[in-house]
Structure 1
Amino acid sequence: MMTKEHELLRETVRHFSEKEIKPFAREIDETEGFRSEIFKKIGELGLLGVTVPSQYGGGDMDVLGATIVMEEFGRVCASTALSYLAHSILCVHNLHANGNEFQKKKYLPDLCSGKKLGAMGMTEPGYGSDAIGLETKAIKEGKFYHLTGRKMFITNGTVAQTFVIYARTGKEREVSSFIVEKDFPGFSVGKKLSKLGMRGSPTSELILEDCRVPEENLLGKLHQGLPQMKKTLDVERITISGISLGIAQAALEDSLAYAKDRKQFKTPIIEFQLVQKMLADMYTWLQAARTLTYEAARLSATGKPLSAMASACKVFSAEIATQASLHAIQILGGYGYCKDYNVERYLRDAKLMEIGAGTSEVQRIIIAKELSKLGLH
């Protein structure tokens, strides 16, 4: 499953993350800051389009490679990892998977280099888990589509220049996707949201008021947005699991180091059986989640049904990241509850993993429906 290319990729991204991201992670969180210079450096590594062919400036890697990058970024700064996911998967991968050659040549080089950042607009103020119920509409007039509606909780909303936007183009299930540029007439960015966690990943509302989109910016075929959305969400759920793995890895690393160093009753607390149980559980969860996620990434290249596995790795990785972070705080005690240590940030960041890209409840519904339809395979 893991090739030499994957191992080299992990080594490269680990080194980059330790040097270029980790020193700023706490400041990014506390100031709700976004460091565009980090993304330009990621672009220099060829990773802003990690799954895109090199002819467009991409990294030429598979879904497992993208997941490894998410994992390594998530280990040091989940906020940076989340913004990276929104750019590299929800926008860039989506555009490459569904765009025509003209669109790829026009948009991918700037997105892969970091000259421009990307995002995706699917969720709406009244429609989150019920993505099919979206109200944003696109009406064709001459050589333009006119988009009207609002998008909510959009990662990179305030910093992106290129958006993939989903809008209704006909009846209930007739949805299409469009490439929307920030400077298009009728497009604006709403309020930046202040969040519990992932504070360095900017989240905002998008406002489309009779936004004029050229007909050539229809992404894929008319009315085929829902199948495109489903495929993109499967890849998103696998790769976002990498962020959960990174958080869980960091929580375990910090807990292990602290337990070896901290003494109570003249004994390192790692010698206490209840601390040992927490560490052992964290390790077991992490290894199980990583194996499940990597298997889902491998499956994505086979053409076999993917949704159940994508949802399974997403829900399991997200929930063990939250629990591992809780264990880390418990092991560090009072220090774990203070901002002088990173574990409280891990918990705040991890909780989003149970909400974003489809809640844990929705993932379980998807798994059950897929089992009912396809059985075990």
Structure 2
Amino acid sequence: MNISFNEEEIMIQDTAKQFADAELRPNAALVEQHQEQPRFLANLKKLSELGFMGINVNGQYGGIEAGSVAFSLAITELARGCASTAVTTSVTNMVAEVIQSVGSEAQKEHYLSKICSGEYLAAGFCLTEPDAGSDPSAMKTQAKLDGEEYVLNGTKAFITSGEYAGVFVVWAVTAPELPKGKGISCFIVDADTPGVIIGKAEEKMGQKASATNQVIFDNCRVPLSAMLGELNQGFKIAVTELAGGRIGIASLALGLGLEAMDYAKEYVKERKQFNQALAKFQGIQWMLSDRYTELEAARLLIMQAAVKKDNGLPFSSAASMAKVFTTEKANDACYSALQLLGGAGYIKEYPLERLVRDVRVTTIYEGTSEIQRVIISRELLAD
């Protein structure tokens, strides 16, 4: 597998790094405060102007057509600066790819340009429900046909960017009489559609700048043209697009792990105990060696999944392997980095406290580690 980067991919990686260095890292702790949300949203707008909200979207719709490898490189660099910004960027790209993949020409022309340009600061992926997380086929949100419209009723949970997304991709049951998972359809719903109610932002452990809300549909009426893809084929769409989203979350986790270890590495080179730098102790050296080796292996797994996706090859299992391995090893890296700082790592003055909080959720969203293992084992055991 050739994982050397082309000129465009290197440029996108460098641009993301420069943006993270200049705009994100200096303000990552600050934007966790609610009153600083305008600064966070302004950065989303800047990222759209740089082309980062449509990295794998066709140029005719406003994207930059750079592919999944470039997407991964960008998300990793953004996450090193601010995980909240990275996850918002990742999910918005995922929504754009859903629309590009199965949307009608009219849908693509109307919505993708608004997502890519930043007219919509973000886009929301409305799949999870209070009683349907790891098992989305158990969703209860329904879309009932009423003349020339569908009427949506139900509640979606843990929706990234809920309160400032301009558009949502929403899954709902359209044929409850069919077997579980077989009667689900997908819809595009504008955020300002009557009947769309945004719940309060959740008080989270980490990634606090990124809003996470319930999105409630209360007799929300959408035209027939709002359906994405074919009737009752929505579950297939969700499964396919989640695989691509897992490349994004794995890349995000990699960025957090690298940021944590890089900070800790510099710290142990300067911090002295027993009359020598901590970096002189073999136990510290081995800890650094193990964590960096694991993160490099994670990077290769992510690249394998991204290259497969870019080449039109089956990549679901590869994405799950990348996601479960990277997110768990990134958690190890962040906790090891905090340990290397000792008591200082536990203090908010240092970034490790935030990085540890931010990385924890990566083993949960876009499919838990346990679900990734189910996906991988199914493919391994399939005939």
Post-superposition Cα deviations, 1:284-326, rounded to whole Å, max 9, x if no partner, equal 0110000011011101123332221111000000001100001
Is this contact kept in 2: 1:46–1:112, CA < 8 A? Answer: yes
User: How far apart are the structure 2 equivalents of 1:356 and 1:373?
Assistant: 26
Relative to the length of structure 1, the TM-score reads 0.97
Post-superposition Cα deviations, 1:212-232, rounded to whole Å, max 9, x if no partner, equal 011111011111111111110
> What residue number does 2:31 align with?
28
Is this contact kept in 2: 1:307–1:370, CA < 8 A? Answer: no
Choose the corresponding residue for 1:281, options 280, 290, 293.
290
What is the Cα deviation at residue 331 of structure 1? 0.3
> What residue number does 2:19 align with?
16
5 Å-filtered alignment, 1:245-264, equals 245-264=254-273
AA aligned opposite 1:135? K
5 Å-filtered alignment, 1:143-162, equals 143-162=148-167
Count of matched residue pairs:
373
Residue 193 and residue 33 in structure 1: after superposition, are their counterparts in 2 closer, same or farther (change >3 A)?
Answer: farther
> What residue number does 1:198 align with?
207
Gaps of 5+ in 2: none
- Please give the secondary structure, in 1, of the residue aligned with 2:300: helix
User: How far apart are the structure 2 equivalents of 1:219 and 1:108?
Assistant: 13
> What residue number does 1:96 align with?
100
Post-superposition Cα deviations, 1:129-149, rounded to whole Å, max 9, x if no partner, equal 011110100011111110010
5 Å-filtered alignment, 1:357-376, equals 357-374=366-383
Is this contact kept in 1: 2:69–2:310, CA < 8 A? Answer: no
Choose the corresponding residue for 1:316, options 299, 313, 325.
325
User: How far apart are the structure 1 equivalents of 2:324 and 2:113?
Assistant: 33
User: How far apart are the structure 1 equivalents of 2:152 and 2:160?
Assistant: 20
User: How far apart are the structure 2 equivalents of 1:297 and 1:153?
Assistant: 26
User: How far apart are the structure 1 equivalents of 2:114 and 2:324?
Assistant: 33
What is the Cα deviation at residue 31 of structure 1? 4.2
User: How far apart are the structure 2 equivalents of 1:11 and 1:46?
Assistant: 13
Post-superposition Cα deviations, 1:257-294, rounded to whole Å, max 9, x if no partner, equal 10111111221100011111111111101100000110
User: How far apart are the structure 1 equivalents of 2:22 and 2:62?
Assistant: 24
User: How far apart are the structure 2 equivalents of 1:362 and 1:33?
Assistant: 35
1:43 aligns with 2:48: yes
Is this contact kept in 2: 1:129–1:359, CA < 8 A? Answer: yes
The structure 1 segments of at least 4 consecutive aligned residues displaced by more than 3 Å after TM superposition are 30-34
1:268 aligns with 2:277: yes
What is the Cα deviation at residue 183 of structure 1? 1.5
What is the Cα deviation at residue 74 of structure 1? 0.7
- Please give the secondary structure, in 2, of the residue aligned with 1:353: helix
> What residue number does 1:57 align with?
62
- Please give the secondary structure, in 2, of the residue aligned with 1:105: helix
5 Å-filtered alignment, 1:53-132, equals 53-89=58-94, 91-116=95-120, 117-132=122-137
Gaps of 5+ in 1: none
Moved more, 92-101 or 148-157: 92-101
Is this contact kept in 2: 1:33–1:199, CA < 8 A? Answer: no
Post-superposition Cα deviations, 1:339-370, rounded to whole Å, max 9, x if no partner, equal 00011111111110000001001110110011
- Percent identity reads 38
- Please give the secondary structure, in 2, of the residue aligned with 1:333: helix
Choose the corresponding residue for 2:228, options 219, 239, 243.
219
> What residue number does 1:188 align with?
197
AA aligned opposite 2:80? R
Choose the corresponding residue for 1:210, options 204, 210, 219.
219
User: How far apart are the structure 1 equivalents of 2:349 and 2:64?
Assistant: 36
Is this contact kept in 1: 2:161–2:210, CA < 8 A? Answer: yes
> What residue number does 2:10 align with?
7
Residue 296 and residue 339 in structure 1: after superposition, are their counterparts in 2 closer, same or farther (change >3 A)?
Answer: same
User: How far apart are the structure 1 equivalents of 2:85 and 2:313?
Assistant: 31
User: How far apart are the structure 2 equivalents of 1:283 and 1:253?
Assistant: 9
User: How far apart are the structure 2 equivalents of 1:281 and 1:166?
Assistant: 42
- Please give the secondary structure, in 2, of the residue aligned with 1:364: helix
User: How far apart are the structure 2 equivalents of 1:118 and 1:257?
Assistant: 38
> What residue number does 1:179 align with?
188
Relative to the length of structure 2, the TM-score reads 0.95
What is the Cα deviation at residue 29 of structure 1? 2.5
AA aligned opposite 2:14? E
- Please give the secondary structure, in 1, of the residue aligned with 2:312: coil
Moved more, 130-139 or 295-304: 295-304
- Please give the secondary structure, in 2, of the residue aligned with 1:86: helix
What is the Cα deviation at residue 100 of structure 1? 1.0
* RMSD (CA atoms): 1.1
User: How far apart are the structure 1 equivalents of 2:49 and 2:312?
Assistant: 31
- Please give the secondary structure, in 1, of the residue aligned with 2:29: helix
User: How far apart are the structure 1 equivalents of 2:304 and 2:169?
Assistant: 28
Residue 339 and residue 325 in structure 1: after superposition, are their counterparts in 2 closer, same or farther (change >3 A)?
Answer: same
What is the Cα deviation at residue 83 of structure 1? 1.1
Is this contact kept in 1: 2:250–2:326, CA < 8 A? Answer: yes
Is this contact kept in 1: 2:52–2:89, CA < 8 A? Answer: no
